[in-house]
Homo-oligomer: A and B are copies of this chain.
């Protein structure tokens, strides 16, 4: 078993498995991701290529990442019979994702309905060295043609605009043409008017085939037709280059130029081309040179992935399943984030599917960001810059709610406006389902502040804190300062009418997670205000003036910090999740044994609120996120209280892996490993049934945290770091690296 491979040894033709594996076998490079559909297509597959930050408007949910014209199609006909996995007989099948270099391979031995036997091998990757490029190598070997010595071969590569986000098509053709043997395709989104150019070449050094180019506004193509002898292999390379108007003002020429430079062609500019016509000239025969392109780009690809793994890899010995699963999650964390673009962030499902439409949640800051902060701090910095750029929109949201400072939206896309729909209609029952999160799930604002703080603690990036971070901390503190309500009777501050991380309980008061994180947010701001005054008084003054941060405000903040209401039983040390939670009725879970749905699904949105049953870690998440604030006794008491009343199987996918950290601290290794598995395999085994809509990227981030902060027990301090390993059964080694204040550390723990 290769520990760098995710493998599939048989083709399972049920659509649920097919769609789930499409998500698993996604390739990507942060500029784009492409789901693992087949080049030949499959009936009702969900093919998708999504680009980082390329959205189109939609009703209700405002905007979504717009699935671009499909660049994968390669259709193969042998003696006129179409090769596709729903036809003929699959004699053998093997597909594997090589995570080390991000290359997806597939080998199929297939017998056509009329008995011709072929071997098809394809490979593809999204170039990490050259992020605008996707490349496919496609080989066909004729193994048996019955009494014939050769077969007629027809291989057609194309781009295809007739693909949407499920059924919704986002692109409109603008123009199309070709230059020599490079096809170019120019389209724009229907509503947001983003322009996209794709160029495509399809080349072969094989003899006895004839190349043909077909221009089309809908599906331009390049084909090879000819004969293939028994035992011979036809080999071709499909190269696609993509640029959008978010990259350059002239994406068509940028893509063409880029493509020509790749392949060594120089055919002049797009303007001089004969647009969109058939062309049959004998094209320059550069194929033999071209056949080297794939190998050359593969070398670059390996070279580009090497430093990624040098920084991100985690070596686990003694548990191959865990080793591969962890790598899979790290792979996903890398392919779904841009290495340089700070105008967008990593979405709930990254770019691996249509789920959550590419919107950004607190998933990024709470679950994924620690991975980036510790291993790829430059990317973490970009993700925080995304939030910095959207401060004006967050200020607007706070103001429109009657508050000061900056309130971040629960769901965020490009312009930072709230993109959570306020209601949805159940597509079958017609029932209107109000969605309150955009109005009252507030804690994301503190999550972002906490992520800024943590980034600064881990990296020591003072420039970032001075130029960007401080303004986020102060603006968000300002929001909380105005949002906290003084209770004169109790002489304390409350935050009422919110949703905490446990989203099954709505309109709650004094959610411990929210209040505590809000207080922490203000603490960070007070600290950083001092720090700024000392280290950079000019910047401090500028911000204070700009934000009108008077002394009254600062002392109000101090008052809020001192008197924020935090509900905790002084005897038991158990935090109360919110006002009145302790008094809710305990749900008798034993009567739901064998259930296949969440408790909310079973009880309904209204009923579930009456019970002491929660969707996901809430108090326990607080104890994990602000780990160093709480002693072990407190953690133990709260674990014992909340662990049994959490829906670990059908609640949120976010927190199982996060529980590992606490479980390790409490020495509950078996439980920790169980949680780790639920997180690490959530997509590889489609544990929640919704991997078809994309992989669970927050869970991937939680798996990194579980492994490093949980099993390895890594903690940073001013002098450096400590580890406190907890060894699941069988694990004998746990090795990884991380950055702390610019220095890289290598940790190699052995049992």
List the interface of chain A (C-beta within 8 A of B).
41, 43-44, 59-60, 75, 77, 80-82, 154, 156, 158, 160-162, 164, 167-170, 172, 174-175, 190, 212, 214, 216-219, 221, 223, 225, 273-278, 421-425, 427-428, 430-432, 434
Contact = CB atoms under 8 A, between A and B. Distances in A.
A521 B224 CA distance: 70
Contacts of A430: 60, 421-423
Instruction: State the 7 A-B residue pairs at the shortest beta-carbon distance, nearest first.
Output: A59-B427, A80-B274, A162-B162, A218-B219, A422-B430, A154-B277, A162-B218
Contacts of A428: 59
Nearest to A429: B422
A61 to B, nearest CB: 10
A217 B156 CA distance: 11
A174 B82 CA distance: 12
B216 A278 contact: no
B427 A60 contact: yes
B216 A275 contact: no
A109 to B, nearest CB: 22
A46 B667 CA distance: 64
Copies of this chain present in the complex amount to 2
A82 B275 contact: yes
A427 B81 CA distance: 46
B60 A425 contact: yes
Given A43-B172, A80-B275, A190 B218 contact: no
A236 to B, nearest CB: 15
Nearest to A427: B59
Contact of A425 (B81, B274, B424): B424
Nearest to A274: B80
Contacts of A214: 214, 216, 278
Contact of A169 (B164, B273, B422): B164
A161 B82 CA distance: 20
Contacts of A158: 216, 218
Contacts of A274: 77, 80
Contacts of A431: 422
Contacts of A167: 164, 168-170, 190
A161 B219 CA distance: 10
A67 B534 CA distance: 67
Given A164-B167, A167-B169, A168-B168, 14 more contacts: A43-B174, A59-B428, A60-B425, A60-B427, A82-B175, A154-B278, A158-B218, A164-B169, A214-B214, A225-B277, A422-B430, A423-B430, A424-B425, A432-B432
Contacts of A170: 167
21 contacts: A44-B172, A77-B275, A77-B276, A80-B274, A156-B278, A158-B216, A160-B218, A161-B162, A162-B169, A162-B218, A164-B168, A167-B190, A216-B216, A216-B221, A218-B219, A223-B278, A225-B278, A421-B425, A422-B430, A425-B432, A432-B434
A148 to B, nearest CB: 16
A41 B427 CA distance: 33
A270 B156 CA distance: 21
| Of listed A75, A154, A174, A214, residue having the most chain B CB within 10 A | A214
A596 to B, nearest CB: 24
A168 B434 CA distance: 25
Given A161-B162, A278-B212, A169 B169 contact: yes
A82 B276 contact: yes
Nearest to A41: B217
A217 B75 contact: yes
Contacts of A217: 41, 75, 219
A156 to B, nearest CB: 7
A40 to B, nearest CB: 10
Contacts of A156: 278
A53 to B, nearest CB: 20
Contacts of A168: 164, 167-169
A157 to B, nearest CB: 12
A423 B421 contact: no
Nearest to A45: B172
Contacts of A422: 430-432
